[in-house]
Amino acid sequence: MAPRVIIVGGGFGGLSAARALRGVPVRVTLIDKRNYHLFRPMLYQVATGLLSADEISGPLRSILSHQENVEVLLDEVTGVSPDDRLVHLERRDLAYDFLILATGIRYNYFGHDEWRRSAPGLESLDDADVIRSKILLAFERAEALAAMSPAAEEVPSGEIRRLLTFALVGAGTVGVEMAGTLAEMSRMALAHDFRHIDPRSARILLYEAASRILPTFPEVLSLKAQRHLESLGVEVFTNTRVATVDADGILVGGQRIPAATVLWGAGVVASPAGRWLGAETDNSGKVMVEPDLSVRHRPEVFVIGDTAHVVAPARNLLGVKSRTPMALPGVAQPAIQGGRYVAEVIRRRVAGLRQPQPFWYWDKGDLAIVGRTYAVADLRFSRFAGFTAWAVWAVVHIYFLVGFANRLFVLLQWGLAFLTRRRRVRVLPKEPPRAQDFIDPET
């Protein structure tokens, strides 16, 4: 019987590994707790209403439907017994000959998981729906209060200001993209849609504990990104750590900041894969791997993507090799390349061939979008910002979307949004509570 390869996780790494095993005489089982592959770099555009969920995602079964040696299981892995070569699911166990863990990351609330309810992070389509609803409801509730204020003895201006204050914790790529998009959304897309409030008065607050935003980018690009955010009206606070988060807002530097919407993007922690394997991990829980991306003393177990701590030789876009190995960043490309590499290792082992050279990373640089036509790009040999960087960002992201239809629809939506400055996906998923409920909840 053909060897069984179990892949845990249908993200960039897991899907790349599964696809690369096409035609290899193995039985592949891809397990994910969600039935879709998600293009996470554009998830913030779903959260802010520019794109719909199906435009940046696709059913795993459909994507792999023509690959006969792959089956997809909708289930959640609860653990691994590496000595017995078993993967534990909620109701059964599966044996494996090779195991690929591509379980990703989740947001780190630094010991305060209770903050998650008040400050959601952007990890899945469900999170995007929740965040979009919070944003739209904040404007609707502010409008309702303002509309009813003439009949009240005094205008509830403090509550309206709180509703129109959006605090983003963490100024990495997601935080910066969300801040810029929220600013443009309030000042362009929603500017003329309300009669009793001015959406342009919304405060967008971006907090970063480090000394600058986009701390993994070169300082010159971080400064350009900050200046552009500030030109959009975003208030940027660096060297600032958020001490408390609750339903009413945040506490920063001893000062209470009332905010109805708090969004979290301050740091990540790896999945429990390291604990499952009893393997060595770094401070964020990523598994330390060997040069072939396998786990030490477990040559049949591979860890890729955000789940792995990988230090590898790298070459830039032009093929120039770096002088020293680099710790791979938590972006899509290391996961995609790692998935393909591990599939090649398995193919050669099954065929009894010589193993490939140790994994090396083709470093294509870092990109971050800061506005509707503004981005920053670090290609290692060249660094630039503005429309050119945005065009590079757009081409790269369109190219890596799964499916021709998704690429076409996203291009059309971007074109429409650029011309009209409107957001298409603004329907709330359920009927919002009555305005009176926010003014006099006892009635």
If one counts every other C-beta atom within 10 angstroms of the C-beta of residue 102, the result is 31
Are 238 and 230 in contact by the 8 Å Cβ rule? The answer is no
- One-letter amino acid of 366: D
Please name the amino acid found at residue 311.
V
Under a CB-based contact definition with an 8 Å cutoff, are residues 209 and 184 in contact? Answer: no
Order across the sheet with 77-81: list the strands. Answer: 77-81, 86-89, 93-95
Q: Considering just the CA atoms, what is the radius of gyration of the chain in Å?
A: 23
CB contact at 8 A, 313 and 325? yes
Which amino acid is located at 21 in the chain?
L
Q: Give yes or no for a contact between 336 and 133, defined as CB atoms under 8 angstroms apart.
A: no
For residue 289, report the phi and psi dihedrals to the nearest 5 degrees. Answer: -120, 165
75, 90 in Cβ contact below 8 A?
yes
pLDDT at 436: 43
CA trace torsion 287, 288, 294, 298 (10° rounding):
-80
Q: What SS3 string covers 129-188?
A: HHHHHHHHHHHHHHHHHHHHHHHCCCCCHHHHHHHCEEEEECCCHHHHHHHHHHHHHHHH
Per the annotation, the verdict on 177 as an active-site residue is yes
Q: Are 131 and 122 in contact (CB under 8 A)?
A: yes
Are the CB atoms for 397 and 165 separated by under 8 Å?
no
Report which of 2, 9, 6 is spatially closest to residue 38, judged by C-alpha positions. 9
* Residue count of the chain: 443
- Each of the 443 residues of the chain gets a pLDDT tens digit; together they read 899 999 999 999 999 999 999 999 999 999 999 999 999 998 999 998 888 888 888 999 999 999 999 999 999 999 999 999 999 999 999 999 999 999 988 898 988 999 999 999 999 999 999 999 999 999 999 999 998 855 555 657 899 999 999 999 999 999 999 999 999 999 988 888 899 999 999 999 999 999 999 999 999 999 999 999 999 999 999 999 999 999 999 999 899 999 999 999 998 888 899 999 999 999 889 999 999 999 999 999 999 999 999 999 999 988 898 889 999 998 899 999 999 999 999 999 999 999 999 999 999 999 999 988 899 999 999 999 999 999 999 888 887 776 655 667 677 776 666 655 555 556 666 554 444 444 444 44
pLDDT score, position 120: 95
Short-list 348, 268, 340, 347, CA closest to 304: 340
The confidence score (pLDDT) of residue 153 equals 53
SS3 141: helix
Q: What is the pLDDT of residue 412?
A: 72
Tokens for 263?
């969004």
**pLDDT for the residue 188:** 87
**Residue 403, pLDDT score:** 62
Q: Which of 140, 143, 177, 208 is catalytic?
A: 177
Q: Which domains does the chain have, with CATH numbers?
A: 4-33+75-108+268-362 (3.50.50.60), 113-266+366-435 (3.50.50.100)
Q: Which pLDDT score is estimated for 432?
A: 46
First vs last Cα of the chain: how many Å apart? 68
Quick one: pLDDT at residue 442? Answer: 46
pLDDT for 147 equals 87
